[in-house]
Amino acid sequence: MKDCPSCGSWNSDDASFCRHCGSALLGGPSRATAGNEARQNQPGFTPPSPPPGQHPAHLTPQGSLGTKSSGKATASLVCGIIGLIVFPVIFSVLAINLGLAAKREISRSGGQLSGEGKATAGIVLGIVGLVFGVIFLVLTLAR
């Protein structure tokens, strides 16, 4: 039991605040609790257990949020489209090369980079553009 410094009412030992007037209790047991809290809040006391567990857990969501699409995959897709519509062959070859480079980059990144779908699309568009370009060239030359 400890008595309130403000109103003198008795409160239980584990009470932090007086249940009669609400003021903070400064009795012996509460001082011991405050001491324990202070010790737990000391930088030297806390780091050993929570941060090593918390840091990777904290970094994982940031990592998944920060997962960026491979720039090469996007470039491959863009070149594939350009190769298909505007400049066949040159951009199509670029699209295939960039798509393959993007796939290598993505697999090497170990989950850091995404965009494999874009890289595949870029390669497919590149192949289609190249095939159409070659057919177009053959037809033009044959004429």
Question: Closer to Zn ion at the Cβ: 9 or 33?
Answer: 9
Binding-site string for Zn ion from residue 13 to residue 52, where x marks contact by CB under 5 A and - marks none: -----x-xx-------------------------------
- As measured in angstroms, the least distance from the Cβ of 25 to Zn ion is 8
Which residues 91-110 are close enough to bind Zn ion by CB under 5 A? none
Q: Three-class SS string for the chain? A: CEECCCCCCEECCCCCECCCCCCECCCHHHHHHHHHHHHHHCCCCCCCCHHHHHHHHHHHHHHHHHCEECHHHHHHHHHHHHHHHCCCCHHHHHHHHHHHHHHHHHHHHCCCEECHHHHHHHHHHHHHHHHHHHHHHHHHHHC
State the residues that interact with Zn ion by CB under 5 A: 4, 6-7, 9, 18, 20-21
